[in-house]
Amino acid sequence: MSRTRVVLIALSLTTIAACSAPDPAPSRVSSRQGAVVGGTVDDSSKAVVGLGVGINNFFFGHCTGTLILPNLILTARHCVALTQSPGQQGSVVCGKTQFTLQGPGEIFRATTLTKRPEQDTGGGEFYKGIGKVFVDKAANDICGFDVALIMLEGKGIPASEAVPIEPRIEETAQTGETMSAVGYGLTAAGGGPDSGATSGTRMRIDGRKIVCTKSGCTAAFVTDKEFGTDAPTCQGDSGGPALDSQGRVFGVLSRGPQGCSSSVYGDVASNKDLVITAALAAIKSGGIEPPAWLKAYVPEPDAAVSEAGGDGGASGDGTSSGGDSNNKDDSSGCAVSGRGIASGTPLLLALVLFALLALLARRRRQHQR
């Protein structure tokens, strides 16, 4: 199917599936976004990966992620799920913008290359996701819940190519803390033909700071599980990491104002249970030795551990074996099958909609209030 045809079909289907009446006076408006403005090309942070959506002959790069295990990528939930919002396209209204269709894990691709290839030729440029994507199903609001993890096939990416980055799961972000932002997004706001902006290249900017956390971020409408920074990220950086002074990932890029002047990140430590649940499932799936940060959470050999690490009985190919795949996990409520798109939703419809996601979800930004 041609890219043009996919987009046209997706546009028509999205109008039916996701339209809603606008709120006449939204009180908390934001949006999804993604690229580092004013940064430098980063050839060394290979565990910060370029993400894309691949469906048959269709491929489109759209987000950024962080390799935290050889076969597990930390990213933004809006990079793996469609959303519905009462605001204009690309906007986020906290408390109203909701996640809808969950993407099947096998459509996602990841590359460690500095320049993300424009096509998945099958020549080894990309690593492929399997049918498991982990999100927090406690709520569908994008604000406070914009974190996801994608499991890769087999043992994932070899250490010779990229050494995973440790997630900071014990310490929450602190106001005034210094950070680095890395991503594959636009290098200038707007991205028009006269802007000089490029995208699809891993860029990094150091020496940025956390300007507020939790309730101290009133102006940016940041929830208790997020923090605001002065990192100038832009479209395409969505899901990219905030790295601390020790090189650990402690934030996941979610949204920010138009103009690519600042950013809101999901706090990794505030999503500790989700990260551990996904990590335990990943090491079991890939037969991987747990890293030091995870060892304390690995059950004893005689403890009962489900195949999906608390995934409500997901089968090895990522399909749910327990009925509606949108149901919460039986134990933790954190992990869902990668096919958890919607009860009764045809797979073809979901794939078409995710072709559109690849075009639209390049880190949508938070509108000026």
Torsion of CA 174, 176, 179, 184, to 10 degrees: 90
pLDDT of residue 92: 85
Separation between Cα atoms, residue 93 and residue 171, nearest integer Å: 28
Q: Which residue has the higher pLDDT, 260 or 368?
A: 260
- Identify any residues that bridge with 110 across adjacent strands, giving them in sequence order: 51, 127
| Yes or no: domain 3-271+342-360 corresponds to CATH 3.40.50.1700 | no
What is the DSSP-derived secondary structure letter of residue 329? P
Secondary structure (DSSP) of 42-73: -SS-TTEEEEEEEETTEEEEEEEEEEEETTEE
**Joined tokens for residue 157:** 């990416």
Separation between Cα atoms, residue 183 and residue 49, nearest integer Å: 8
Tell me the pLDDT tens digit for each residue of 287-329.
999 999 999 999 987 654 444 444 433 333 332 222 233 333 3
Q: Where are the domains of the chain?
A: 3-271+342-360
pLDDT of residue 91: 77
Q: How far apart are the first and last CA of the chain?
A: 40
Secondary structure (DSSP) of 201-239: B-EEEEEEEEEEEGGGGGGGT--TTEEEE-----TT-TT
Q: Is the pLDDT of residue 60 over 70?
A: yes
Tell me the pLDDT tens digit for each residue of 35-56.
466 678 999 999 999 999 998 8
Separation between Cα atoms, residue 181 and residue 363, nearest integer Å: 14
Torsion of CA 221, 222, 223, 224, to 10 degrees: -140
**Joined tokens for residue 236:** 């395409």
